[in-house]
Structure 1
Protein backbone atom coordinates (compact mmCIF):
# COMPACT_ATOMS: atom_id res chain seq x y z
CA UNK A 1 0.00 0.00 0.00
CA UNK A 2 1.38 3.44 -0.91
CA UNK A 3 1.94 6.17 1.67
CA UNK A 4 -0.83 8.25 0.08
CA UNK A 5 -3.35 5.41 0.24
CA UNK A 6 -2.23 4.52 3.75
CA UNK A 7 -2.63 8.06 5.05
CA UNK A 8 -6.25 8.20 3.86
CA UNK A 9 -7.21 5.43 6.29
CA UNK A 10 -9.21 7.06 9.06
CA UNK A 11 -8.44 4.84 12.06
CA UNK A 12 -5.17 3.51 13.43
CA UNK A 13 -4.46 -0.22 13.49
CA UNK A 14 -1.62 -1.61 15.60
CA UNK A 15 -2.72 -5.23 15.39
CA UNK A 16 -2.97 -7.58 18.36
CA UNK A 17 0.31 -6.48 19.97
CA UNK A 18 0.87 -2.71 19.70
CA UNK A 19 4.06 -2.87 21.79
CA UNK A 20 5.70 -5.00 19.12
CA UNK A 21 5.44 -2.22 16.52
CA UNK A 22 8.98 -0.79 16.56
CA UNK A 23 9.56 0.11 12.94
CA UNK A 24 10.81 3.36 11.41
CA UNK A 25 8.39 3.06 8.50
CA UNK A 26 5.25 2.65 10.61
CA UNK A 27 4.73 6.40 11.15
CA UNK A 28 2.97 6.60 7.78
CA UNK A 29 0.26 4.29 9.11
CA UNK A 30 0.03 6.20 12.41
CA UNK A 31 -0.81 9.60 10.95
CA UNK A 32 -4.20 8.57 9.62
CA UNK A 33 -6.64 11.17 8.34
CA UNK A 34 -8.69 11.54 11.53
CA UNK A 35 -5.57 11.98 13.69
CA UNK A 36 -4.08 14.57 11.34
CA UNK A 37 -7.35 16.51 11.39
CA UNK A 38 -7.10 16.73 15.19
CA UNK A 39 -3.38 17.50 15.39
CA UNK A 40 -3.86 21.25 15.54
CA UNK A 41 -6.14 20.84 18.57
CA UNK A 42 -3.17 19.27 20.30
CA UNK A 43 -0.76 22.04 19.36
CA UNK A 44 -2.99 25.16 19.43
CA UNK A 45 -1.04 27.41 17.06
CA UNK A 46 -1.66 30.65 18.95
CA UNK A 47 -0.73 29.25 22.37
CA UNK A 48 2.35 27.51 21.04
CA UNK A 49 3.57 30.64 19.28
CA UNK A 50 3.28 32.49 22.58
CA UNK A 51 5.12 29.78 24.52
CA UNK A 52 7.98 29.49 22.02
CA UNK A 53 8.38 33.21 21.54
CA UNK A 54 10.94 34.06 18.87
CA UNK A 55 13.48 31.37 19.84
CA UNK A 56 13.72 29.69 16.44
CA UNK A 57 13.46 32.91 14.46
CA UNK A 58 16.13 34.56 16.60
CA UNK A 59 18.45 31.54 16.42
CA UNK A 60 18.21 31.36 12.64
CA UNK A 61 18.86 35.07 12.25
CA UNK A 62 21.86 34.91 14.58
CA UNK A 63 23.39 32.37 12.19
CA UNK A 64 22.66 34.46 9.11
CA UNK A 65 20.11 31.99 7.74
CA UNK A 66 17.97 32.81 4.72
CA UNK A 67 16.97 29.44 3.22
CA UNK A 68 15.35 26.87 5.54
CA UNK A 69 14.20 23.31 5.00
CA UNK A 70 11.56 22.17 7.49
CA UNK A 71 11.97 18.39 7.21
CA UNK A 72 9.04 17.49 9.50
CA UNK A 73 6.56 20.20 8.72
CA UNK A 74 3.57 18.29 10.12
CA UNK A 75 0.54 20.57 9.82
CA UNK A 76 2.80 23.50 8.94
CA UNK A 77 3.11 25.45 12.19
CA UNK A 78 6.83 26.22 12.04
CA UNK A 79 6.96 26.58 8.26
CA UNK A 80 4.25 29.23 8.36
CA UNK A 81 5.90 31.09 11.26
CA UNK A 82 9.22 31.15 9.40
CA UNK A 83 7.57 32.33 6.18
CA UNK A 84 5.86 35.13 8.10
CA UNK A 85 9.26 36.10 9.52
CA UNK A 86 10.69 36.48 6.01
CA UNK A 87 12.65 33.24 5.56
CA UNK A 88 12.73 31.32 2.29
CA UNK A 89 11.18 28.00 3.37
CA UNK A 90 10.72 24.57 1.82
CA UNK A 91 8.46 22.19 3.75
CA UNK A 92 8.98 18.42 3.68
CA UNK A 93 7.23 15.52 5.39
CA UNK A 94 7.01 11.77 4.96
CA UNK A 95 3.24 11.84 5.45
CA UNK A 96 1.29 13.06 2.44
CA UNK A 97 -1.74 13.64 4.68
CA UNK A 98 0.31 16.05 6.81
CA UNK A 99 1.51 17.92 3.72
CA UNK A 100 -2.06 18.38 2.48
CA UNK A 101 -3.11 19.73 5.88
CA UNK A 102 -0.05 21.99 6.10
CA UNK A 103 -0.68 23.49 2.67
CA UNK A 104 -4.30 24.19 3.59
CA UNK A 105 -3.30 25.75 6.92
CA UNK A 106 -0.77 28.01 5.22
CA UNK A 107 -3.21 29.09 2.51
CA UNK A 108 -5.76 30.15 5.12
CA UNK A 109 -3.04 32.31 6.69
CA UNK A 110 -2.07 33.96 3.43
CA UNK A 111 1.06 31.89 2.77
CA UNK A 112 1.93 29.42 0.02
CA UNK A 113 3.98 26.42 1.14
CA UNK A 114 6.49 24.81 -1.19
CA UNK A 115 5.89 21.22 -0.12
CA UNK A 116 8.08 18.16 -0.69
CA UNK A 117 7.16 14.53 0.02
CA UNK A 118 10.46 13.10 1.20
CA UNK A 119 11.97 10.35 3.35
CA UNK A 120 14.79 11.71 5.54
CA UNK A 121 16.96 8.67 4.87
CA UNK A 122 17.01 9.52 1.16
CA UNK A 123 16.60 13.28 1.45
CA UNK A 124 19.23 14.31 -1.09
CA UNK A 125 17.65 11.97 -3.63
CA UNK A 126 14.39 13.89 -3.42
CA UNK A 127 15.78 17.36 -2.60
CA UNK A 128 18.74 18.53 -4.67
CA UNK A 129 18.96 22.02 -3.15
CA UNK A 130 21.24 23.27 -0.38
CA UNK A 131 19.98 25.16 2.66
CA UNK A 132 21.37 27.48 5.32
CA UNK A 133 19.38 25.63 7.98
CA UNK A 134 17.33 22.50 8.47
CA UNK A 135 14.76 22.28 11.25
CA UNK A 136 13.43 18.93 12.48
CA UNK A 137 10.93 19.77 15.20
CA UNK A 138 7.89 18.38 17.02
CA UNK A 139 9.73 15.36 18.49
CA UNK A 140 9.74 13.96 14.96
CA UNK A 141 13.22 12.41 14.99
CA UNK A 142 12.05 9.84 17.54
CA UNK A 143 10.02 8.10 14.80
CA UNK A 144 13.26 6.41 13.70
CA UNK A 145 13.75 3.15 15.60
CA UNK A 146 16.95 1.78 14.02
CA UNK A 147 20.27 3.47 14.73
CA UNK A 148 21.27 2.97 11.10
CA UNK A 149 18.21 5.01 10.07
CA UNK A 150 19.07 7.77 12.54
CA UNK A 151 22.65 7.98 11.29
CA UNK A 152 21.53 7.94 7.66
CA UNK A 153 18.98 10.70 8.25
CA UNK A 154 21.48 12.92 10.08
CA UNK A 155 24.06 12.36 7.34
CA UNK A 156 21.45 13.40 4.77
CA UNK A 157 20.67 16.53 6.77
CA UNK A 158 24.39 17.32 6.93
CA UNK A 159 24.77 16.86 3.16
CA UNK A 160 21.81 19.14 2.42
CA UNK A 161 23.29 22.03 4.40
CA UNK A 162 25.52 24.78 3.07
CA UNK A 163 28.91 25.33 4.65
CA UNK A 164 28.34 26.85 8.13
CA UNK A 165 24.73 25.71 7.98
CA UNK A 166 22.86 24.63 11.12
CA UNK A 167 20.49 21.85 12.07
CA UNK A 168 17.90 22.48 14.78
CA UNK A 169 16.49 19.23 16.13
CA UNK A 170 14.25 18.77 19.14
CA UNK A 171 13.23 15.78 21.24
CA UNK A 172 11.15 15.05 24.27
CA UNK A 173 13.04 14.71 27.58
CA UNK A 174 12.96 10.93 27.57
CA UNK A 175 15.79 10.80 30.12
CA UNK A 176 13.48 12.15 32.79
CA UNK A 177 10.61 9.85 31.84
CA UNK A 178 12.77 6.72 31.76
CA UNK A 179 14.62 7.54 34.98
CA UNK A 180 11.98 9.30 37.09
CA UNK A 181 8.58 8.74 35.51
CA UNK A 182 6.36 11.03 33.47
CA UNK A 183 5.64 14.58 34.56
CA UNK A 184 4.89 17.53 32.33
CA UNK A 185 3.39 20.97 32.48
CA UNK A 186 2.52 20.92 28.76
CA UNK A 187 3.79 24.49 28.81
CA UNK A 188 5.57 24.71 25.49
CA UNK A 189 4.71 22.06 22.94
CA UNK A 190 1.23 20.70 23.55
CA UNK A 191 -0.90 23.70 24.40
CA UNK A 192 -4.39 22.58 23.42
CA UNK A 193 -7.16 22.89 25.99
CA UNK A 194 -8.34 19.63 27.58
CA UNK A 195 -5.98 17.57 25.41
CA UNK A 196 -3.76 14.94 27.00
CA UNK A 197 -0.48 13.56 25.62
CA UNK A 198 0.88 10.95 28.01
CA UNK A 199 2.96 7.77 27.82
CA UNK A 200 1.00 4.52 27.87
CA UNK A 201 4.14 2.36 27.88
CA UNK A 202 7.86 3.10 28.31
CA UNK A 203 10.92 0.89 28.00
CA UNK A 204 14.42 1.46 26.63
CA UNK A 205 13.25 0.69 23.11
CA UNK A 206 9.72 2.08 22.98
CA UNK A 207 7.79 5.16 24.05
CA UNK A 208 4.12 4.56 23.26
CA UNK A 209 2.15 7.78 23.77
CA UNK A 210 -1.60 8.15 24.03
CA UNK A 211 -3.30 11.32 22.75
CA UNK A 212 -6.78 12.02 24.13
CA UNK A 213 -9.09 14.73 22.80
CA UNK A 214 -12.14 16.47 24.33
CA UNK A 215 -14.57 14.57 22.10
CA UNK A 216 -13.36 11.28 23.62
CA UNK A 217 -11.29 10.19 20.63
CA UNK A 218 -7.93 8.57 21.29
CA UNK A 219 -4.84 7.98 19.15
CA UNK A 220 -1.35 6.60 19.70
CA UNK A 221 2.20 7.04 18.47
CA UNK A 222 5.01 4.52 18.92
CA UNK A 223 8.39 6.28 19.17
CA UNK A 224 11.96 5.55 20.19
CA UNK A 225 12.95 7.15 23.54
CA UNK A 226 16.11 9.04 22.60
CA UNK A 227 18.38 10.02 25.44
CA UNK A 228 19.86 13.50 25.22
CA UNK A 229 23.56 12.59 25.30
CA UNK A 230 23.02 9.80 22.78
CA UNK A 231 21.47 12.28 20.34
CA UNK A 232 24.30 14.75 20.90
CA UNK A 233 26.87 12.01 20.26
CA UNK A 234 25.19 10.99 17.00
CA UNK A 235 25.21 14.59 15.82
CA UNK A 236 28.96 14.86 16.43
CA UNK A 237 29.72 11.47 14.91
CA UNK A 238 28.02 12.32 11.61
CA UNK A 239 30.11 15.50 11.34
CA UNK A 240 28.50 18.40 13.23
CA UNK A 241 31.36 20.15 15.01
CA UNK A 242 29.46 22.27 17.52
CA UNK A 243 26.27 21.22 19.32
CA UNK A 244 24.46 23.46 21.82
CA UNK A 245 21.50 21.98 23.70
CA UNK A 246 18.68 24.03 25.20
CA UNK A 247 16.06 22.87 27.70
CA UNK A 248 12.66 24.39 26.85
CA UNK A 249 14.45 27.21 24.99
CA UNK A 250 16.91 27.91 27.85
CA UNK A 251 20.65 27.19 27.60
CA UNK A 252 20.91 26.79 31.39
CA UNK A 253 18.58 24.21 32.91
CA UNK A 254 18.33 21.36 35.39
CA UNK A 255 18.45 17.96 33.67
CA UNK A 256 15.01 16.82 34.85
CA UNK A 257 13.17 20.12 34.42
CA UNK A 258 12.61 20.57 30.66
CA UNK A 259 9.80 18.87 28.79
CA UNK A 260 11.87 19.10 25.61
CA UNK A 261 15.48 19.48 24.51
CA UNK A 262 16.44 21.52 21.45
CA UNK A 263 19.81 20.77 19.81
CA UNK A 264 21.43 23.41 17.59
CA UNK A 265 24.20 21.72 15.58
CA UNK A 266 26.57 23.60 13.31
CA UNK A 267 28.26 22.35 10.14
CA UNK A 268 31.70 23.92 9.87
Structure 2
Protein backbone atom coordinates (compact mmCIF):
# COMPACT_ATOMS: atom_id res chain seq x y z
CA UNK A 1 0.00 0.00 0.00
CA UNK A 2 1.39 3.37 -1.07
CA UNK A 3 0.03 6.26 0.97
CA UNK A 4 2.15 8.79 -0.89
CA UNK A 5 0.41 8.44 -4.26
CA UNK A 6 0.11 11.86 -5.89
CA UNK A 7 -2.11 11.06 -8.85
CA UNK A 8 -5.02 8.72 -9.38
CA UNK A 9 -4.39 5.88 -11.77
CA UNK A 10 -7.08 3.67 -13.26
CA UNK A 11 -4.94 2.15 -16.01
CA UNK A 12 -5.35 2.55 -19.75
CA UNK A 13 -9.01 1.44 -19.61
CA UNK A 14 -10.57 3.14 -16.54
CA UNK A 15 -13.98 1.51 -17.12
CA UNK A 16 -12.39 -1.89 -16.62
CA UNK A 17 -11.00 -1.00 -13.18
CA UNK A 18 -13.46 -2.88 -10.96
CA UNK A 19 -11.39 -3.91 -7.98
CA UNK A 20 -12.47 -3.41 -4.37
CA UNK A 21 -8.88 -2.80 -3.22
CA UNK A 22 -8.43 0.06 -5.68
CA UNK A 23 -10.09 2.53 -3.28
CA UNK A 24 -6.70 2.99 -1.59
CA UNK A 25 -5.36 4.51 -4.78
CA UNK A 26 -8.43 6.64 -5.36
CA UNK A 27 -8.44 8.56 -2.07
CA UNK A 28 -5.12 10.32 -2.63
CA UNK A 29 -4.09 13.38 -0.63
CA UNK A 30 -5.11 15.90 -3.27
CA UNK A 31 -8.63 14.49 -3.46
CA UNK A 32 -9.02 14.06 0.29
CA UNK A 33 -7.96 17.67 0.86
CA UNK A 34 -10.83 18.80 -1.36
CA UNK A 35 -13.43 16.47 0.13
CA UNK A 36 -14.68 19.07 2.59
CA UNK A 37 -15.17 21.53 -0.28
CA UNK A 38 -17.41 18.90 -1.82
CA UNK A 39 -19.43 18.29 1.34
CA UNK A 40 -19.48 21.75 2.97
CA UNK A 41 -19.98 20.74 6.60
CA UNK A 42 -22.28 23.60 7.60
CA UNK A 43 -24.58 23.25 4.59
CA UNK A 44 -24.73 19.50 4.94
CA UNK A 45 -25.58 19.72 8.64
CA UNK A 46 -28.39 22.12 7.81
CA UNK A 47 -29.77 19.96 5.00
CA UNK A 48 -29.79 16.58 6.77
CA UNK A 49 -30.82 17.97 10.15
CA UNK A 50 -30.66 15.54 13.07
CA UNK A 51 -31.91 12.45 11.17
CA UNK A 52 -29.04 10.17 12.22
CA UNK A 53 -28.90 11.54 15.76
CA UNK A 54 -32.60 10.87 16.24
CA UNK A 55 -32.44 7.37 14.73
CA UNK A 56 -29.60 6.42 17.06
CA UNK A 57 -31.34 7.90 20.09
CA UNK A 58 -34.62 6.17 19.23
CA UNK A 59 -32.71 2.90 19.21
CA UNK A 60 -31.10 3.68 22.58
CA UNK A 61 -27.59 3.61 21.11
CA UNK A 62 -24.71 5.03 23.11
CA UNK A 63 -21.57 3.41 21.68
CA UNK A 64 -21.29 4.01 17.93
CA UNK A 65 -18.76 2.88 15.32
CA UNK A 66 -18.41 5.06 12.23
CA UNK A 67 -16.88 2.58 9.76
CA UNK A 68 -16.52 5.03 6.85
CA UNK A 69 -15.67 8.21 8.70
CA UNK A 70 -14.12 9.97 5.73
CA UNK A 71 -13.05 13.44 6.81
CA UNK A 72 -14.99 13.12 10.06
CA UNK A 73 -18.25 14.96 9.44
CA UNK A 74 -20.62 12.46 11.06
CA UNK A 75 -18.12 11.37 13.72
CA UNK A 76 -17.81 14.94 14.97
CA UNK A 77 -21.54 15.58 14.80
CA UNK A 78 -22.32 12.45 16.80
CA UNK A 79 -19.61 13.20 19.36
CA UNK A 80 -21.12 16.64 19.86
CA UNK A 81 -24.51 14.98 20.32
CA UNK A 82 -23.11 12.93 23.20
CA UNK A 83 -22.41 9.54 21.60
CA UNK A 84 -19.33 7.48 22.47
CA UNK A 85 -17.67 7.37 19.05
CA UNK A 86 -14.95 5.30 17.40
CA UNK A 87 -14.03 6.33 13.84
CA UNK A 88 -12.69 3.89 11.26
CA UNK A 89 -11.79 4.09 7.60
CA UNK A 90 -9.77 2.05 5.13
CA UNK A 91 -7.98 5.14 3.84
CA UNK A 92 -5.11 6.48 5.96
CA UNK A 93 -5.42 9.81 4.13
CA UNK A 94 -9.06 10.12 5.20
CA UNK A 95 -8.28 9.18 8.80
CA UNK A 96 -5.55 11.80 9.01
CA UNK A 97 -7.90 14.47 7.68
CA UNK A 98 -10.68 13.38 10.04
CA UNK A 99 -8.38 13.59 13.05
CA UNK A 100 -7.24 17.07 11.97
CA UNK A 101 -10.84 18.21 11.45
CA UNK A 102 -11.79 16.91 14.88
CA UNK A 103 -8.95 18.80 16.58
CA UNK A 104 -9.99 22.02 14.84
CA UNK A 105 -13.39 21.60 16.46
CA UNK A 106 -12.02 20.72 19.87
CA UNK A 107 -12.36 16.94 19.69
CA UNK A 108 -9.89 14.06 19.74
CA UNK A 109 -11.23 11.35 17.47
CA UNK A 110 -10.39 7.74 18.26
CA UNK A 111 -9.38 6.52 14.83
CA UNK A 112 -8.67 3.02 13.51
CA UNK A 113 -7.58 2.08 10.01
CA UNK A 114 -9.53 -0.98 8.99
CA UNK A 115 -10.71 -2.77 5.89
CA UNK A 116 -14.34 -3.74 6.51
CA UNK A 117 -13.76 -7.30 5.28
CA UNK A 118 -11.58 -7.87 8.35
CA UNK A 119 -13.23 -5.31 10.64
CA UNK A 120 -13.26 -7.43 13.79
CA UNK A 121 -9.55 -8.12 13.47
CA UNK A 122 -8.84 -4.41 13.91
CA UNK A 123 -11.81 -3.11 15.88
CA UNK A 124 -12.51 -4.71 19.23
CA UNK A 125 -15.55 -4.72 21.45
CA UNK A 126 -19.22 -4.46 20.55
CA UNK A 127 -21.19 -1.42 19.49
CA UNK A 128 -24.83 -0.39 19.89
CA UNK A 129 -24.80 0.97 16.35
CA UNK A 130 -22.64 1.09 13.25
CA UNK A 131 -22.94 3.81 10.61
CA UNK A 132 -21.62 3.33 7.07
CA UNK A 133 -22.41 6.54 5.21
CA UNK A 134 -21.34 8.58 2.21
CA UNK A 135 -22.17 5.92 -0.42
CA UNK A 136 -19.11 4.04 0.86
CA UNK A 137 -20.54 0.52 0.68
CA UNK A 138 -20.52 0.77 -3.12
CA UNK A 139 -16.72 0.50 -3.15
CA UNK A 140 -17.22 -3.27 -2.79
CA UNK A 141 -17.22 -4.82 -6.25
CA UNK A 142 -18.16 -8.44 -5.62
CA UNK A 143 -20.88 -10.13 -3.66
CA UNK A 144 -18.50 -12.14 -1.50
CA UNK A 145 -16.94 -8.91 -0.21
CA UNK A 146 -20.36 -7.37 0.41
CA UNK A 147 -21.63 -10.40 2.32
CA UNK A 148 -18.43 -10.67 4.35
CA UNK A 149 -18.54 -6.98 5.19
CA UNK A 150 -22.16 -7.11 6.34
CA UNK A 151 -21.32 -10.21 8.42
CA UNK A 152 -18.41 -8.29 10.02
CA UNK A 153 -20.77 -5.39 10.81
CA UNK A 154 -23.32 -7.84 12.25
CA UNK A 155 -20.66 -9.44 14.47
CA UNK A 156 -19.41 -6.09 15.76
CA UNK A 157 -22.89 -5.10 16.97
CA UNK A 158 -24.44 -5.88 20.33
CA UNK A 159 -27.31 -8.39 20.35
CA UNK A 160 -29.85 -5.62 19.64
CA UNK A 161 -27.59 -3.42 17.53
CA UNK A 162 -28.47 -1.16 14.61
CA UNK A 163 -26.71 -0.72 11.26
CA UNK A 164 -27.32 2.48 9.28
CA UNK A 165 -25.99 2.28 5.73
CA UNK A 166 -26.62 4.62 2.82
CA UNK A 167 -26.20 4.42 -0.94
CA UNK A 168 -26.87 6.45 -4.03
CA UNK A 169 -30.12 5.79 -5.85
CA UNK A 170 -28.46 3.65 -8.50
CA UNK A 171 -31.84 2.25 -9.56
CA UNK A 172 -32.76 5.66 -10.94
CA UNK A 173 -29.32 6.17 -12.49
CA UNK A 174 -29.40 2.79 -14.25
CA UNK A 175 -33.03 2.96 -15.34
CA UNK A 176 -33.67 6.66 -15.94
CA UNK A 177 -30.29 8.40 -16.15
CA UNK A 178 -28.51 10.66 -13.67
CA UNK A 179 -30.16 13.61 -11.97
CA UNK A 180 -28.91 15.07 -8.70
CA UNK A 181 -30.14 18.06 -6.77
CA UNK A 182 -27.04 18.04 -4.53
CA UNK A 183 -29.43 19.01 -1.75
CA UNK A 184 -28.23 16.71 0.98
CA UNK A 185 -24.87 15.10 0.42
CA UNK A 186 -22.82 17.35 -1.82
CA UNK A 187 -23.48 20.92 -0.79
CA UNK A 188 -20.27 22.61 -1.91
CA UNK A 189 -20.44 25.57 -4.27
CA UNK A 190 -19.19 25.28 -7.85
CA UNK A 191 -18.40 21.57 -7.50
CA UNK A 192 -19.46 19.28 -10.35
CA UNK A 193 -20.30 15.64 -9.62
CA UNK A 194 -21.74 13.28 -12.19
CA UNK A 195 -21.32 9.71 -13.49
CA UNK A 196 -19.01 9.77 -16.49
CA UNK A 197 -19.73 6.15 -17.32
CA UNK A 198 -22.42 3.73 -16.09
CA UNK A 199 -23.24 0.11 -16.77
CA UNK A 200 -24.66 -2.63 -14.54
CA UNK A 201 -21.24 -3.32 -13.03
CA UNK A 202 -19.73 0.15 -12.73
CA UNK A 203 -20.60 3.76 -11.95
CA UNK A 204 -17.55 5.95 -12.63
CA UNK A 205 -18.09 9.36 -11.02
CA UNK A 206 -16.23 12.51 -12.02
CA UNK A 207 -15.55 15.21 -9.41
CA UNK A 208 -14.47 18.60 -10.74
CA UNK A 209 -13.51 21.54 -8.52
CA UNK A 210 -13.25 25.31 -9.12
CA UNK A 211 -9.44 25.16 -9.42
CA UNK A 212 -9.88 22.87 -12.46
CA UNK A 213 -8.72 19.76 -10.59
CA UNK A 214 -10.57 16.58 -11.53
CA UNK A 215 -10.79 13.25 -9.69
CA UNK A 216 -12.72 10.02 -10.19
CA UNK A 217 -14.21 7.22 -8.13
CA UNK A 218 -15.14 3.82 -9.56
CA UNK A 219 -18.06 2.28 -7.68
CA UNK A 220 -20.50 -0.58 -8.01
CA UNK A 221 -24.11 0.52 -8.77
CA UNK A 222 -26.03 -1.30 -6.06
CA UNK A 223 -29.77 -1.63 -6.42
CA UNK A 224 -31.83 -0.83 -3.35
CA UNK A 225 -33.71 -4.12 -3.00
CA UNK A 226 -30.52 -6.12 -3.56
CA UNK A 227 -28.90 -4.40 -0.55
CA UNK A 228 -31.99 -4.99 1.57
CA UNK A 229 -31.98 -8.68 0.63
CA UNK A 230 -28.30 -9.08 1.48
CA UNK A 231 -28.87 -7.50 4.88
CA UNK A 232 -31.64 -9.96 5.67
CA UNK A 233 -29.69 -12.94 4.39
CA UNK A 234 -26.75 -12.02 6.62
CA UNK A 235 -29.11 -12.00 9.62
CA UNK A 236 -30.57 -8.54 10.10
CA UNK A 237 -34.18 -8.96 11.17
CA UNK A 238 -35.84 -5.73 10.09
CA UNK A 239 -34.70 -3.32 7.38
CA UNK A 240 -36.31 0.10 6.97
CA UNK A 241 -35.32 2.24 4.00
CA UNK A 242 -35.65 6.00 3.75
CA UNK A 243 -35.34 8.19 0.68
CA UNK A 244 -33.39 11.41 1.33
CA UNK A 245 -34.31 11.13 5.04
CA UNK A 246 -38.02 10.66 4.30
CA UNK A 247 -40.11 7.63 5.21
CA UNK A 248 -42.33 7.86 2.14
CA UNK A 249 -41.05 8.58 -1.34
CA UNK A 250 -41.30 7.55 -4.97
CA UNK A 251 -38.40 5.29 -5.86
CA UNK A 252 -37.08 7.51 -8.66
CA UNK A 253 -37.03 10.71 -6.59
CA UNK A 254 -34.35 10.37 -3.86
CA UNK A 255 -30.68 10.97 -4.53
CA UNK A 256 -29.81 8.60 -1.68
CA UNK A 257 -31.38 5.68 0.14
CA UNK A 258 -30.69 5.11 3.84
CA UNK A 259 -31.13 1.58 5.22
CA UNK A 260 -31.67 1.08 8.95
CA UNK A 261 -31.14 -2.62 9.73
CA UNK A 262 -31.90 -4.08 13.16
CA UNK A 263 -29.99 -7.07 14.45
CA UNK A 264 -32.45 -7.97 17.21
CA UNK A 265 -35.24 -10.42 16.63
CA UNK A 266 -38.48 -8.64 15.78
CA UNK A 267 -41.74 -10.54 16.24
CA UNK A 268 -44.31 -10.14 13.52
CA UNK A 269 -47.56 -8.49 14.58
CA UNK A 270 -50.23 -11.06 15.22
Which of 243, 247, 259 is residue 251 of structure 1 equivalent to? 247
Among candidates 26, 38, 54, match of residue 58 of structure 1: 54
Among 181, 189, 199, the residue aligned to 1:203: 199
Aligned residues: 264
- Aligned partners of 2:6 and 2:189: how far apart in 1? 23
Runs of 4+ in 1 over 2 A off after TM superposition: none
2:236 maps to 1:240: yes
2:165 is paired with a residue whose SS is: strand
The answer to whether 1:116 aligns with 2:112 is yes
Q: 1:222 aligns with which of 214, 218, 241?
A: 218
Whether the 8 Å contact between 1:121 and 1:153 is mirrored in structure 2 is: yes
1:267 is the counterpart of 2:270: no
Match of 2:69 in 1: 73
CA distance in 2, matches of 1:86, 1:150: 31
3-state secondary structure, aligned to 2:197: strand
CA distance in 2, matches of 1:192, 1:7: 26
- CA-atom RMSD, angstroms? 0.5
2:34 alignment partner in structure 1: 38
SS at match of 1:258: coil
| 1:29 corresponding residue in structure 2 | 25
Q: Does 1:14 align with 2:18?
A: no
1:162 aligns with 2:158: yes
Shift of 1:216: 0.6
The gaps in structure 2 that reach 5 residues or longer are 265-270
| Contact 1:7–1:31, Cα closer than 8 Å, also in 2 | no
The DSSP-based 3-state class of the residue aligned with 2:251 is coil
> TM-score, normalised to structure 1's length?
0.98
Q: SS of the counterpart of 2:60?
A: coil
Cα offsets for 1:115-150 (capped at 9, x unmatched): 001010001111121000000000000000010000
Cα distance between partner residues in 2 of 1:181 and 1:154: 28
Match of 2:100 among 97, 101, 104: 104
**3-state DSSP of counterpart to 1:7:** coil
* 2:140 maps to 1:144: yes
Tell me the distance in 2 between the aligned counterparts of 1:211 and 1:37.
13
Q: C-alpha distance in 1, partners of 2:229/2:134?
A: 20
User: How far did residue 100 of structure 1 move?
Assistant: 0.3
Partner of 1:134: 130
